[in-house]
């Protein structure tokens, strides 16, 4: 082979090699199959993962230790699901708002089965938009305005039942918020199955954070049995209301009046889901408020003075509280905000990657859960100086964007947050103007139930002011 032939052969081989390498590079850049690493972290034990650690430790310690060890994005495995946790405001906004289409709302399958797969929490798109519109219609300011006096009656009756008693704050607040939830869902109608509804719901609640093992005798099995009974009770209420043929302005009326039509199963799933969302979270917030007010006498004094001023203004007028009265409570509202931040009742929320997603140089595989850690964002000193200090005055100035998300963010933020705020303000008005209370026993620990709570549900003793 002469020099020219050899040169041409080498040139041809070089061209083929270049073409091959170019095609490989092009495939690498366009196919989306780059070998990205998973985020750092631990998946824990097989199947169980780190579920027990999450629900047996102080959540501040659990999440903070994870972030300190692995950084602001990490992997774990809880409630039978591989998960990626994120803890920066920017990442949370990306998942919940900017790139929300890549991360659908979801819960572990066990929780979806408990609350109902047709519930608003687990959907996006047209069905979710329709449900959200119906919920907001029932919880808009005009609707809330019409039930403030009824909420007040429940608050007065609730507090009166505690007089001179030693109570577990969380348990009693759950009764209060359960009754308010029923009022907002079913209106003033007398619900014949109220106690049975409550009994089944309490059983369901006990198994909410249990391991999803559906065998006789397990908490999960008992919860699923109670869930079936709840569906039957709601079906009976639906049947009775259809026979009455009245125009109701409550949430059930909003669901039933939808022109496009929801099935009874869809209505039942959403009613049970709203009870869960409206009851336990608000009861947890109220429990923490009682604790923080007891621990901060100057804050309690400021709240009491604000509420007593409203009492003085109403002398000689209609005594019942109005929606307008609840807007004259800025100090009390800041206490609620600071409680939501410090206690971070909703430590995180669940999303699911609908496809393989590259995120900050890591791979989030399709089907993995993504958990924005609201608790870490609320407790970051970069976002809130001295984050462990209870200081309502910090909310005299609006917090930095995406650093305060007690009700979530984006299209899936809680549509009932105004109702929750009103029922808290109404109860605090009567609690601070008429009663004094003392916390019984040491209260330094935090437990899950399923939300973050003071140890033992905050036992207190309540008495009338003299």
Q: Which residues are annotated as a binding site for heme?
A: 414
Reduce the DSSP state of residue 263 to 3 states and report it.
Answer: coil
Which residues in 110-215 belong to E strands, given as ranges? Answer: 166-168
Cis peptide, bond prior to residue 450, ω within 30 of zero: yes
Closest listed residue to residue 447, CA positions, set 457, 434, 459: 457
Q: Of 208, 203, 205, 158, which Cα lies nearest the Cα of 183?
A: 158
Instruction: Provide the β-strand partners of residue 438.
Output: 461
Closest CA to 410 of 374, 375, 378, 381: 374
Structure tokens belonging to residue 365? 């595989």
Dihedral over Cα of 49, 53, 56, 59: its sign: negative
Token pair in block for residue 442 = 């040491």
3-class state of residue 322 by DSSP:
coil
Residue 225 and residue 241: Cα distance in Å, rounded?
A: 25
Annotated binding-site ranges = 414
* DSSP assignment letter at 391: -
Rounded Cα distance between 145 and 52, Å, is: 43
Cα–Cα distance for residue pair 331/448, rounded to 1 Å: 28
Return the closest-CA partner of residue 344 out of 284, 401, 291. Answer: 284
Pairing of strands 351-353, 369-372: antiparallel
Could you write out the DSSP letters of every residue in 198-225? HHHHHHHHHTTTS----STTSHHHHHHH
Question: 449 CB contacts (<8 Å, ≥6 apart)?
Answer: 170, 284, 457
d(CA 412, CA 125) in angstroms, rounded, equals 11
Task: State the Cα–Cα distance between residues 72 and 169, nearest whole angstrom.
Answer: 35
Answer yes or no: are the C-beta atoms of 290 and 169 closer than 8 Å.
yes
- Beta-bridge mates of residue 309: none
- In DSSP terms, 369 is beta-bridged to 83, 352
* Distance of alpha carbon 70 from alpha carbon 275, whole angstroms: 37
């Amino acid at each position: 082979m002469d020099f020219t032939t050899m040169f041409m052969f080498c040139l041809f081989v070089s061209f083929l090699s270049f073409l091959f390498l170019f095609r490989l590079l092009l495939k690498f850049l366009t196919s989306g199959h780059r070998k990205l690493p998973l985020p750092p972290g631990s998946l824990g034990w097989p199947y169980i993962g780190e579920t027990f650690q999450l629900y047996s430790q102080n959540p501040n310690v659990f999440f903070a230790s994870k972030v300190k060890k692995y950084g602001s994005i990490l992997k774990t495995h809880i409630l039978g699901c591989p998960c990626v946790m994120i803890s920066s405001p920017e990442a949370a906004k990306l998942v919940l708002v900017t790139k929300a289409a890549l991360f659908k709302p979801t819960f572990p399958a066990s929780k979806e089965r408990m609350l109902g797969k047709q519930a608003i929490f687990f959907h996006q798109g047209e069905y979710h938009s329709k449900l959200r519109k119906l919920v907001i219609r029932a919880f808009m300011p005009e609707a809330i305005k019409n039930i403030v006096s009824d909420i007040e009656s429940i608050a007065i009756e609730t507090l009166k039942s505690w007089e001179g008693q030693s109570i577990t704050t969380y348990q009693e607040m759950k009764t209060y918020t359960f009754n308010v939830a029923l009022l907002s869902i079913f209106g003033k109608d007398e619900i014949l199955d109220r106690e049975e509804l409550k009994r089944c719901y309490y059983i369901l609640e006990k198994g909410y954070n249990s391991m999803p093992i559906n065998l006789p005798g397990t908490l999960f099995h008992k919860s699923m049995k109670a869930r079936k009974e709840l569906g039957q009770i709601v079906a009976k209420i639906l049947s009775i209301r259809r026979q009455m043929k009245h125009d109701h302005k409550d949430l059930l009326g909003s669901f039933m009046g939808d022109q496009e039509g929801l099935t009874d199963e869809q209505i039942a799933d959403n009613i049970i889901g709203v009870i869960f969302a409206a009851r336990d979270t608000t009861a947890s917030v109220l429990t923490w408020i009682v604790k923080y007010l007891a621990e901060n006498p100057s804050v309690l004094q400021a709240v009491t003075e604000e509420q007593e001023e409203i009492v003085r203004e109403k002398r000689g007028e209609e005594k019942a509280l109005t929606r307008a009265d609840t807007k004259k409570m800025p100090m009390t509202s800041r206490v609620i905000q600071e409680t939501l931040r410090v206690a971070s009742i909703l430590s995180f929320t669940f999303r699911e990657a609908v496809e393989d997603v590259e995120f900050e140089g890591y791979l989030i595989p399709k089907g993995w859960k993504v958990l924005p850690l609201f608790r870490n964002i609320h407790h970051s000193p970069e976002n809130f100086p001295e984050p462990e200090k209870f200081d309502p005055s910090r909310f005299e100035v609006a917090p930095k964007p995406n650093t305060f998300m007690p009700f979530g963010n984006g299209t899936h933020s809680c549509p009932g947050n105004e109702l929750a705020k009103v029922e808290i303000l109404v109860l605090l008005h009567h609690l601070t103007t008429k009663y004094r209370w003392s916390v019984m026993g040491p209260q330094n620990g935090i437990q899950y139930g399923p939300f973050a709570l003071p140890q033992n549900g905050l036992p207190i003793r309540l008495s009338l002011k003299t």
